[in-house]
Amino acid sequence: MNHQQNKSNDAYLDIQKTLKVIARKWHWYLIAILVCFVSTMIFNKLTTPKYLVTSSLYIKEGASSTTEKAQEFMQNFMLFNQQRTYQNEMLVIGSSPLIKQAIQKLNLEITYYQKEGFAYYEKYNLSPFMVVFDSLHAQALNTDFNIEFAQDGRFTIKAKQGNVATYEYGTQKRRKTNDDINLRETAFPGDVIEGDHYRFRIQITKVEALPEFAGKKFRFRFNDMRNLERKISEALTIEPANPEVSVV
Q: What is the DSSP letter of 203?
A: E
79 pLDDT band, cuts 50/70/90, is very low
234 pLDDT band, cuts 50/70/90, is confident
For residue range 188-233, list pLDDT tens digits in order. 999 999 999 999 999 988 777 777 888 889 999 999 888 888 887 8
Say how many residues make up the chain. 248
Is residue 229 a contact partner of residue 103, using CB atoms and an 8 Å limit?
yes
Instruction: Indicate whether 70 pLDDT > 60.
Output: no
User: How many Cα atoms occupy the beta-carbon half-sphere of 55 within 13 Å?
Assistant: 6
The one-letter amino acid code at 101 reads Q
Mean pLDDT lowest among 8-17, 78-87, 231-240: 78-87
pLDDT for residue 126: 82
For residue range 136-170, list pLDDT tens digits in order. 999 999 899 999 999 888 999 999 999 999 999 98
Mean pLDDT of the chain: 77
Long-range contacts of residues 61-70, Cβ cutoff 8 Å, at least 24 apart: 61/85
- What are the distances in angstroms from CA 193 to CA 36, 132, 139, 163, 178? 45, 10, 11, 20, 21
pLDDT for residue 242: 63
For residue range 80-99, list pLDDT tens digits in order. 455 556 666 666 677 777 77
Instruction: Indicate whether 40 pLDDT > 50.
Output: yes
Helix (H, G, I), strand (E, B) or coil at 198: strand
> How wide is the angle at C-alpha 55 spanned by C-alphas 52 and 60, nearest 5°?
160
42 pLDDT band, cuts 50/70/90, is low
- Listed residue (177, 210, 102) closest to 202, CA to CA: 210
- Listed residue (28, 217, 231) closest to 114, CA to CA: 217
164 against 3, higher pLDDT: 164
